[in-house]
Amino acid sequence: MYAKTFGETVCGINGEEIIVEVDISNGLPGFDIVGLPDTAVKESRERVRASLKNSGLMFPMTRITVNLAPADLRKDGSSLDLPIAVGILTAAGSLLQEEAEGKIFVGELALDGSIRQVAGVLPMILYAREHGWREIYIPQGNAAEGELVDGIDVYTPASLSELVSHLKKRERLTPLPKIQFGTGTAGCGDVDFAEVRGQQVVKRALEIAAAGGHNVLMVGAPGSGKTMLARRLPTILPPMTEDEILEITKIYSIAGLLNGKKQLVLERPFRSPHHTVSASALIGGGSVPKPGEVTLSHNGVLFLDELPEFSRQALEVLRQPLEDGVVTISRVQASLSFPARLILITAQNPCPCGFLGDKVHSCTCRPHEIERYRRKISGPLLDRIDIQVTVPRLEYDDLKDKTEGESSAVIRSRVVKARGVQRKRFEGSGVHCNAQMNKKQLNKYCKLEPQAEAMLGKYFAALGLSARTHDRIVKVARTIADLEGSAAIKAAHIAEAIQLRTSVQR
Amino acid sequence: MADRRGDFGRRGEDAACAYLLRHGYSIVERNYRCRRGEIDIIAAKDGGAVFVEVKTRRSLKFGTPGMAVTYAKQQKIRTAALHYLQQCGGGYNKIAFDVIEIVADDGKAKLRHLQNCF
């Protein structure tokens, strides 16, 4: 007796259909799973056996062979328990083939027959919808992900026996309702830029970074407020669009970071990994590659505090994703691409003791120590950071200043406006903000006024800038012009962009 | 006790023999023993040898009888069968390993013949 059911697994950040074939034949009792299963899938034998028994269903005491197709794709994770169980029931005659037809099953089985939450359900549902499936069955714990996707009936049976009575049309389940989630919300509600005293230059720099998606380096003495400023960046970023929310929720679904409380990522992610992070934790890795920090901060902010403390290797792997917006990880078992379009915010001290350039404290570092400290960050990485600013230690008067700074909401409205201009400009090109422009778009959209051109030319020669730096300065100038609502890039815009790029002495 | 258990198993093997005879097999040997192991029934049909392991149980409480034929038991039967084939002087065109399960519950016995098991 033969039966065929369908399940899904995750490959990179997308779902992948798995055909589960079950054959039951006469012979000594045995249960084999073939088709490149990894350990979690092989162990599903025991889970399926026990959960069928404890659900009061028949587990056939004969020879059972399960084949997972396509045979060359490695299957991992426990989400195939459910289709295997349904396949066995169908092959054993407890269910009819028609009753299991046209449906995708996803879920891990508990020994008592209940269905457990698994990671990566959202991409599976999206895949199922794209490929014309009408019904998908997911664990109740993943219900919030099921509510996001329109155009497919999503059922959440609590247990195997509930699923069987539904399939046998004894007790029908109702498909999940769909929710409208519109746009995302502002990040990190309990902090605000109004709390930051002084630091006008840095605030301006962060506003420009938020408006154009530019990377930022902040250099300053300990306690000057670098971390405080960086943590407030998400509060001025524009809300995510529906597509962005789905995209990032998909990534979090795969990483297994969605739980009961947080089922939908509405805030732009803000990740700040500790400086001991390894290169593969940063860009993703593992024998079957899993997303790393750069992918988890997709559409959001990656904050690297104490930049020189990061290992050289970890920093250098950032170069490629920063340039391309995707990171491709190749391992023996799979080569996968993860999206990684993020704003990189970095902070560091000017020297090991932290007081180089301070007006009151004197730096106690020796020249070679400073040299070594700075050399930890390579030129190619710095070259990719469009905005580099110094964060000075605050004066007492600034600190005690009673006047509130501009609130995040005010800054944010300007950012949203500037992003609106960019969205219209890049419509349909797959580019979202100025920092992502390619060379062609750069030539098309960034016409400099003659004076601006002349000024850039002068500084290019004087400062010995690289071609990439040139392009990046023009992009920042474009953002500054957008914030001002100016169609042309004027000399003042270029001047500010050059200033932001070159003010930190290296 | 030991004798009674032995009796029960022997009655199962008798039943299995009767079953095989009914289905056109001839019984070549019963309880073939060698130092490598034992084979409950060696039967023949259409020029082929069939090595049969008989498992008799009173209930299904500990799984089906067939489940007791573990890999180690299978290996034992294999080597014993090899031993037999070397001794008997050939003449078989194929061999097969079968298991006959008998569940004797409240006076009623159920027999299941699993062919080509291993």
Smallest CA–CA distance from A60 into chain B, residue: B64
Q: How far apart are the C-alpha atoms of A368 and A27, rounded to whole Å?
A: 77
Residue A186 confidence (pLDDT) above 90: no
Confidence of residue A483 (pLDDT cuts 50, 70, 90): very high
pLDDT digits (tens, 9 = 90+) for A131-162: 999 999 999 999 988 988 889 999 999 999 99
Tokens of A167: 């399939």
Q: Which residues of A70-92 are buried (b: 16+ CB within 10 A; e: fewer)?
A: eeebbbbbbbbbbbbbbbbbbbb
Size of interface A-B (CB pairs under 8 A): 20
Q: How many CB atoms lie within 10 A of CB A432?
A: 18
Smallest CA–CA distance from B60 into chain A, residue: A61
Residues spanned by the domain of B69: 2-114
Cβ pair A37, A143 in contact under 8 A: no
Smallest CA–CA distance from B114 into chain A, residue: A27
B101: which chain A residues are within 8 Å (Cβ-Cβ)? none
Give A63→chain B minimum CA distance, Å.
9
B99: which chain A residues are within 8 Å (Cβ-Cβ)? 28
Q: Give residue A258's pLDDT.
A: 82
Q: Where in chain A is the domain with CATH 3.30.230.10?
A: 2-167
Q: Give residue A261's pLDDT.
A: 64
Residue B1 confidence (pLDDT) above 60: no
Q: Give residue B64's pLDDT.
A: 86
Give B67→chain A minimum CA distance, Å.
6
pLDDT digits (tens, 9 = 90+) for A60-83: 988 999 999 998 888 888 999 999
Q: How many CB atoms lie within 10 A of CB A396?
A: 7
Q: Do A28 and B63 touch (CB under 8 A)?
A: no
Mean pLDDT of A292-299: 94
Helix (H, G, I), strand (E, B) or coil at B39: strand
CA distances from B36 to A33, A242, B32, B68 (A): 32, 72, 11, 19
CA A72 from chain centre, in angstroms, equals: 28
Report the range of poorest mean pLDDT among A289-298, A399-408, A448-457, B62-71. A399-408
Q: What single DSSP character describes residue B53?
A: E
- Coarse DSSP helix, strand, coil percentages of chain A, rounded to the nearest 5 percent: 40, 20, 40
Smallest CA–CA distance from A26 into chain B, residue: B114
Smallest CA–CA distance from B98 into chain A, residue: A27
Confidence of residue A189 (pLDDT cuts 50, 70, 90): low
Q: Which of B57, B59, B64, B97 to mutate to test the interface with A (most CBs of A within 10 A)?
A: B64
Q: Do A61 and B69 touch (CB under 8 A)?
A: no
Smallest CA–CA distance from B55 into chain A, residue: A28
- Coarse DSSP helix, strand, coil percentages of chain B, rounded to the nearest 5 percent: 35, 40, 25
Q: Which of A28, A49, A58, A59 to mutate to test the interface with B (most CBs of B within 10 A)?
A: A28
Residue A29 in contact with partner chain B when CB distance is under 8 A: yes
Q: What is the CATH number of domain A193-419?
A: 3.40.50.300
ipTM score for this prediction: 0.77
B73: which chain A residues are within 8 Å (Cβ-Cβ)? none
Q: Where in chain A is the domain with CATH 3.40.50.300?
A: 193-419
Q: What residues in chain B have their Cβ under 8 A from chain A's Cβ atoms? A: 63-64, 66-67, 69, 99, 114-118
Angle at B55 between CA B49 and CA B60, to 5 degrees: 145
Q: Do B114 and A27 touch (CB under 8 A)?
A: yes
Q: Give residue A260's pLDDT.
A: 63
B64: which chain A residues are within 8 Å (Cβ-Cβ)? 29, 61
Mean pLDDT of B14-31: 94
Tokens of A314: 């970890």
CATH of the domain at B38: 3.40.1350.10
A157 closest CA partner among A253, A149, A171: A171
Q: Give residue A506's pLDDT.
A: 60
Residue A27 in contact with partner chain B when CB distance is under 8 A: yes
Smallest CA–CA distance from A63 into chain B, residue: B117
User: What is the average pLDDT score of chain B?
Assistant: 90
B114: which chain A residues are within 8 Å (Cβ-Cβ)? 26-28
Q: Give residue A179's pLDDT.
A: 81
The domain total for chain B is 1
A26: which chain B residues are within 8 Å (Cβ-Cβ)? 114-115
Q: Give residue A188's pLDDT.
A: 57
Q: What single DSSP character describes residue A448?
A: B
Residue B76 confidence (pLDDT) above 90: yes
CA-based max dimension of chain A? 88
A146 closest CA partner among A157, A132, A162: A157
Phi-psi region of A364 (alpha: psi -120 to 50; beta: other; left: phi over 0): alpha
Q: Give residue A182's pLDDT.
A: 67
User: What is the average pLDDT score of chain A?
Assistant: 90
Q: Do A28 and B67 touch (CB under 8 A)?
A: yes
pTM over 0.80: no
Report the range of poorest mean pLDDT among A252-261, A323-332, B60-69. A252-261
Give A29→chain B minimum CA distance, Å.
6
Fold of A2-167: Ribosomal Protein S5; domain 2 (3.30.230)
Top CATH class of A437-506 equals mainly alpha
Tokens of B89: 């002087």
B117: which chain A residues are within 8 Å (Cβ-Cβ)? 27-28
Q: Do A61 and B118 touch (CB under 8 A)?
A: no
A27: which chain B residues are within 8 Å (Cβ-Cβ)? 114, 116-117
Residue B2 confidence (pLDDT) above 60: no
Q: Do A61 and B114 touch (CB under 8 A)?
A: no
Cβ pair A55, A110 in contact under 8 A: no
Residue A467 in contact with partner chain B when CB distance is under 8 A: no
A485 CB contacts (<8 Å, ≥6 apart)? A417, A421
Q: Do A28 and B99 touch (CB under 8 A)?
A: yes
DSSP E strands in A70-195: the ranges are 103-105, 108-109, 115-116, 135-137, 153-155
Q: Give residue A77's pLDDT.
A: 82
Question: Sheet holding B48-57: strands in order across?
Answer: B26-34, B37-45, B48-57, B94-105, B108-114
B113 CB contacts (<8 Å, ≥6 apart)? B19, B23, B98, B100
A contact residues 42-71, partner B, Cβ 8 Å cutoff: 61
Q: How many CB atoms lie within 10 A of CB A322?
A: 22
Q: How many CB atoms lie within 10 A of CB A5?
A: 27
pLDDT digits (tens, 9 = 90+) for A323-378: 888 999 888 777 888 999 999 999 999 999 988 888 888 899 999 999 999 888 98
Residue B102 confidence (pLDDT) above 90: yes
pLDDT digits (tens, 9 = 90+) for A373-383: 988 898 889 98
